[in-house]
Amino acid sequence: MSTISLRLPDSLHKQVRKLAQQESVSINQLITLALAEKLSALVTEEYLDQRAQRGNRKKFERAMAKVPKVKPDEHDRLPA
């Protein structure tokens, strides 16, 4: 495990301290979790961008043409 020194504005530190106390976790644990969530979101966005670049409209349309044109079952329908 690594240790870093982090400078936070007083207002942000106050909010983090308050939220950590409300969640019954340490400030370190809260910041680690927040960072992990942000990194996960950024990595996912990058992955989806890469997948989108590999997309092929003609292949998509061919695949969609194979889907039967039937109404979905009642439990699969969106509310009106």
d(CA 62, CA 79): 29
CA distance 50 to 44: 10
Q: Look up the pTM and report it.
A: 0.63
Contact 31, 15 (CB under 8 A): no
Write the single-letter amino acid at 22.
Answer: Q
Instruction: Tell me the pLDDT tens digit for each residue of 30-70.
Output: 999 999 999 999 999 999 999 999 999 999 999 999 999 99
End-to-end C-alpha distance for the chain, whole angstroms:
52
